[in-house]
Amino acid sequence: MGDDCAVLRPTDKPRVWTVDSAIAGVHFSRDFMSLDHIAQRAFAAAASDVAAMGGRAVAALSALTLPCTFTDDELTELVTGLARASDRFACPIVGGNLARGSELSLTTTVLGECPVRVLTRSGAQLGDGVFVTGTVGGAALGLRALSAQRGQEAVFLPAIEQFLTPAARLDVALEVAGLASAAIDVSDGLLQDLEHLCRASRLGARIEAALLPLLAGFVDAAEGLQLDPFALALEGGEDYQLLFTAPRELVPAGLATWIGSVVAESEGVRVFERAGTERATGRGFDHFRG
Amino acid sequence: MGDDCAVLRPTDKPRVWTVDSAIAGVHFSRDFMSLDHIAQRAFAAAASDVAAMGGRAVAALSALTLPCTFTDDELTELVTGLARASDRFACPIVGGNLARGSELSLTTTVLGECPVRVLTRSGAQLGDGVFVTGTVGGAALGLRALSAQRGQEAVFLPAIEQFLTPAARLDVALEVAGLASAAIDVSDGLLQDLEHLCRASRLGARIEAALLPLLAGFVDAAEGLQLDPFALALEGGEDYQLLFTAPRELVPAGLATWIGSVVAESEGVRVFERAGTERATGRGFDHFRG
């Protein structure tokens, strides 16, 4: 408990498995997302937990709760999205469950294996660098552009793409496992997930906002929606990139971006802006807020 | 797909894993069940799938969807029930997920392993006997006594006990795996589950209603609620006993009750009453009816 996956040891390789639920009205809205995308996102969110443990996906189970009014065509579209994600992450869906309920939900269980090593949140070392793969904030911006009904504007398309068909960094997870001291996936927001990692490692971190990797045109696009781009990048969730700590010299430039350093626990988790002033930060996604 | 669990082969022993959802208003009602019992039943339903495959439970993941109004005390009661079931089935809960939703639901993933062999629905042989462990119909009677607000009457207590804290026959699953040709657990109703087994095996079955193993006092108790005891036993679901086929001489009397025979596919699945007349049968639980 406490890491993104549970580890099952009595096999030739350590295996990890995880479960994640996506629920209508909480994790997604059908108002501006197709069932295909809803399914792809639900699958990616679960697969991402396996990547965060340094694993590769072995297989998945998909438990669907469908409203009575759900049509065969809707089910076909949902299953198409699951199949696409399953193909993309090379993770066959080998079983599942269908049940009736008042709201649509998708619960995905993924089993993975860790041929290199099992990566947890708790191994960060004082002086390690903090790294993140890909870019951050894109999914949050894409979601906000869609909910503002501005999804057709070209400036938002890369962010919308990241929101609708998120990565799950299984493609780099084994490489990260070979060099990282601790890792987590960015699901609740970079800052909140970094806090989880730091708490598990009993250390702090100092992040430089100017180093955060952003999509091209991200700042302008965010400001076009009257949003603070750094709030999106730090607190927006569901990027499903890997956030990890490692000795700085071990991490090749193409793998991830250096965004800060591991410091003493007493210093907490803090973000500094370009001028060196500390940034007041909000919070990421709280599952039980509101 | 098509069996109660998916089989994962690349380990030293075949492993099976399954997922099952229990949803408020569909699979349970809080009107006459405690959260403790709701949790125990949800866990047992998933663990029973592992037993049906001839496996022993290794570990479980528990994904909970909680309404915003759910209190800490309610969560404690729910978790107590999960812990009780986990202890009872010697199956540690090693992870899970918490999410907010409009209705309470519990989705349980169980991983098992099959040290004897993987038992499926498809191996029945012409001439095999049909067997069921324990008794059938008790859970359905218990549910109806509770919903009729007659749960305090002594005559219903054994049935209510079976409903609230169902078996999952992990205790006999390995023995069954050593002798059965095919198996399924009784979740949707004995007759419907037997139809699943027969379809997978491309055979039929003939059941003698008089041979069905019932709780002591079951017939009188059912009739006390104006219910047909044999309809409960044949069509009532959620007994979570094992229904299996095997050469009759292989099955010790203490393990399971002989209730009929495997016949040709063209004869279908039929039930005969004491006088040898065929019984018209209804259907078990349909997840998408109504």
Note whether B262 and B158 are same-domain residues.
yes
Shortest Cα distance from A50 to chain B (angstroms)?
13
Determine the average pLDDT of the residues in B40-51: 95
Q: What is the per-residue pLDDT for A3?
A: 35
CB pair distance less than 8 Å for B19 and A58: no
B96, A11: Cβ pair inside 8 Å? no
In this prediction, residues B117-138 reach a mean pLDDT of 95
Structural domain contains residue A60:
yes
Question: Which has the higher per-residue pLDDT, A247 or B93?
Answer: A247
Decide if A174 is inside a domain.
yes
User: To probe the interface with A, which of B29, B62, B69, B102 has the most A CB atoms within 10 Å?
Assistant: B102
Q: Do A165 and A60 share a structural domain? A: no
State the pLDDT at residue B210: 94
Confidence band (pLDDT; 50, 70, 90) for A8? very low
| B120, part of any domain | no
Q: Do B133 and B225 reside in the same domain of the chain? A: yes
Cβ A46 vs Cβ A108: under 8 Å: yes
Which two tokens mark A230?
Answer: 């750094």
pLDDT, tens digit, 9 for 90 and up, residues B225-241 = 999 999 999 999 899 99
* Token code pair at residue B282: 């209804």
> If you average pLDDT over residues A42-60, what whole number do you get?
93
Q: Mean pLDDT across chain B, nearest whole number?
A: 90
Per-residue pLDDT at B288: 52
Residue that wins the pLDDT comparison between B32 and B138 = B138
Is residue B176 within a helix (H) or strand (E), and if so which, with residue range?
helix B170-177
Instruction: Give the tokens for residue B169.
Output: 């026959």
| Residues A28 and A57 reside in one and the same domain | yes
Neighbours of A206 (CB within 10 A): 17
Which residues are A234's β-sheet partners? none
pLDDT of residue A276 exceeding 90? no
In this complex, which of B8, B11, B111 lies closest to A12 when CB atoms are compared? Answer: B11
Dihedrals phi, psi of A164, to nearest 5 degrees: -75, -35
Mean pLDDT for all residues in chain A: 90
Yes or no, beta carbons of A95 and B59 under 8 Å apart: no
Contact B101 A11 (CB under 8 A): no
What CATH number is given to the structural domain containing A104? Answer: 3.30.1330.10
Residue in B24, B86, B27 with CA at minimum distance from that of residue B60: B86
More confident position, A16 or A157: A157
Whether the per-residue pLDDT at A289 is higher than 90: the answer is no
pLDDT tops 80 at residue A263: yes
Statement: residue A283 has pLDDT above 80: no
Asked, for residue B46, whether it belongs to a domain, the answer is yes
CB contact (8 A) between residue B63 and residue A288:
no
Looking at the structure, do residues A76 and A143 belong to the same domain, yes or no?
Answer: no
By C-alpha distance, which of B164, B168, B166 is closest to B176? B168
Residue A193 and residue A80 share a domain: no
Q: State the Cα–Cα distance between residues B133 and B137, nearest whole angstrom.
A: 12
Q: Which of A1, A59, A99 sits opposite B8 (nearest CB)?
A: A59
| Structural domain includes residue A202 | yes
Residues A12-23 have pLDDT tens digits of 778 888 899 999
Contact A101 B20 (CB under 8 A): no
A58-71 tens-digit pLDDT: 889 999 999 999 99
Structural domain includes residue A278: no
Residue B133 and residue B263 in one domain:
yes
Q: Token digits for B245? A: 């086929």
Lowest mean pLDDT among A28-42, A134-148, B205-219, B271-285: B271-285
Q: Which residue of B lies nearest to A71 if distances are taken between CA atoms?
A: B288
Average pLDDT over residues A155-170: 95
The CATH number covering residue A255 comes to: 3.90.650.10
- Angle, CA B85 vertex, CA B183 and CA B54 arms, to 5°: 20
Cβ-based contacts of A26 with chain B (< 8 Å): 99-101
Instruction: Please say which residue of A48, A81, A113 terminates a domain.
Output: A113
User: Is residue B122, in this structure, part of any structural domain at all?
Assistant: no
pLDDT exceeds 80 at position A115:
yes
The residues on B that touch A, with CB distances below 8 Å, are 1, 5-6, 8, 11-12, 17-21, 23, 25-27, 58-59, 61-63, 65-66, 68, 94-103, 105, 107, 109, 111, 287-288, 290
How many beta-carbon pairs below 8 A join chains A and B? 128
Query: What pLDDT score was predicted for residue B175?
Result: 97
For the cut 90, the answer to whether the pLDDT of residue B260 exceeds it is: yes
Q: Which structural domain range is residue B23 located in?
A: 6-113
Same-domain status, A171 and A266 = yes
Q: Do B98 and A1 touch (CB under 8 A)?
A: no
Number of domains chain B contains: 2
pLDDT for res B285: 52
Residue B140 has pLDDT above 60, yes or no: yes
Q: Are A178 and A260 found together in one domain? A: yes
**Residue B282 binned pLDDT confidence (cut-offs 50, 70, 90):** low
Q: Phi-psi bin for B25: left (phi > 0), alpha (psi -120 to 50), beta?
A: left
Asked whether residue A281 carries a pLDDT value surpassing 90, the answer given is no
Query: Given this model, what pLDDT does residue B179 score?
Result: 97
Question: Binning pLDDT at 50, 70 and 90, where does residue A179 land?
Answer: very high
Please report the pLDDT score of residue B14 as a whole number. Answer: 80
Q: How confident is the model at residue A285 (pLDDT cuts 50, 70, 90)?
A: low
**Is B21 within 8 Å of A96 when comparing Cβ atoms?**
no
What is the C-alpha to C-alpha distance for residues B106 and B98, in angstroms, rounded to an integer? 10
CB-CB neighbours of A179 under 10 Å: 18
Other CB atoms within a 10 A radius of the CB of residue A219 amount to: 16
In terms of domains, do A21 and A146 share one? no
| Same domain assignment for residues A100 and A174 | no
Identity of the residue in A96, A99, A109 whose CB atom sits nearest the CB atom of B287: A99
Report the relative pairing of strands B56-66 and B105-113 from DSSP bridges: antiparallel
pLDDT-derived band of residue A46, with 50, 70 and 90 as boundaries?
Answer: very high
Quick one: pLDDT at residue A95?
84
Q: Find, in chain A, the residue whose alpha carbon is nearest to that of B20.
A: A97
Task: Give the number of C-alpha atoms closer than 13 A to the C-alpha of residue A241, restricted to the C-beta side.
Answer: 29
Nearest-by-Cβ selection for B26 from A27, A59, A99: A99
Can you read off the two tokens belonging to residue A25? 């009205």
The beta-carbon neighbor of A19 closest among B23, B25, B61 is B61
Looking at beta carbons, which residues of chain A come within 8 Å of B290?
68
Task: Say yes or no: A133 and A266 in one domain.
Answer: yes
Asked whether the predicted pLDDT for residue A10 surpasses 60, the reply is no
Contact A149, A170 (CB under 8 A): no
What kind and span of H or E run contains B160? helix B157-164
With beta carbons less than 8 A apart as the criterion, state whether A168 and A89 touch. yes
**Dist. CA A161–CA B229, nearest whole Å:** 58
DSSP class per residue in chain A: --SSSEEE-SSSS-EEEEEEEEEBTTTB-TTS--HHHHHHHHHHHHHHHHHHTT-EEEEEEEEEEE-TT--HHHHHHHHHHHHHHHHHTT--EEEEEEEE-SS-EEEEEEEEE-SS----SS---TT-EEEE-S-SSHHHHHHHHHHTT-TTSGGGHHHHHHHHS---THHHHHHHHTT-SEEEE-SS-HHHHHHHHHHHHT-EEEEEGGG----TTHHHHHHHTT--HHHHHHH------EEEEE-GGGS-TTT-EEEEEEE-GGG-EEEE-TTSPBPP------TT--
- Alpha carbon distance A167, A164 (integer Å): 10
Last residue of a domain, one of A79, A113, A147: A113
> Which positions in chain A touch B94 (Cβ < 8 Å)?
1, 6, 8
d(CA B180, CA A18): 32
Q: What's the pLDDT score for residue A290?
A: 37
Q: What is the pLDDT of residues B143-192, one digit of tens each?
A: 999 999 999 999 999 999 999 999 899 999 999 999 999 999 999 899 99
**Is A186 a member of any domain?**
yes
Domain boundary among A113, A139, A171: A113
Please report the pLDDT score of residue B5 as a whole number.
35
Output the pLDDT for position B11: 64
Dist CA B113 CA B3 (whole Å):
15
